[in-house]
Amino acid sequence: MAVSLKERIYEIYRTFSAGDLDELADMFDENVDFVSNAPLEVFPYLGRRVGRAQVMKALKIVHDEFSSVDYMPLKIIVNDQSAGIVVSIRLTQRATERIIRVFAAHFLQFKGDRISEYRAFLDTFEAVQQVVGRELDVSGG
């Protein structure tokens, strides 16, 4: 029996959280187009990546930087081969043991059972403050 797209999405997030990057690689299309709005000054491994090898290189760095990476899908909406997911993310930074908690919206497009397009939007201001461990001065002065 075929796995539903919603079940496949849960499987993808479980695999990423478990750090099984070899299995995760097979969940991406060879020519996947990956875009994250994360600021490159703090998250230089994100931004835009094209192709499975580039995406997996970036995701490996995420697991190298964070000792714990937990993704919990809170809401999944599917339509044909597309999905929108609201995700709660909990990370533990290796260097500081600081726990980072953010919410993200992920928009996925599938070809068959593989992700062909991945768009990630997160509250970058909140994420950056947690990663650097202090509130940012946005007063301009």
User: Is this model's pTM higher than 0.75 or not?
Assistant: yes
Which CA distances in Å does 103 have to 8, 70, 116, 122, 127? 21, 12, 22, 6, 9
Burial class of 106 by CB neighbour count within 10 A (0 to 12, 13 to 18, 19+) = buried
Per-residue pLDDT tens for 8-61? 999 999 999 999 999 999 999 999 999 998 777 777 888 999 999 999 999 999
Q: For residue 83, give the 3-state DSSP assignment.
A: strand
Q: Which domains are delineated in the chain?
A: 5-132 (3.10.450.50)
Q: How confident is the model at residue 124 (pLDDT cuts 50, 70, 90)?
A: low
Rounded CA separation 20/123 (Å): 26
Per-residue pLDDT tens for 68-105? 889 999 999 999 999 999 999 998 989 889 888 888 99
**Per the structure block, which two tokens stand in for 8?**
């496949």
Write the single-letter amino acid at 65. Answer: E
Neighbour count for residue 125 (Cβ, 10 Å): 11
Write down the pLDDT at residue 81: 96
Rounded CA separation 11/8 (Å): 5
Rounded CA separation 28/51 (Å): 9
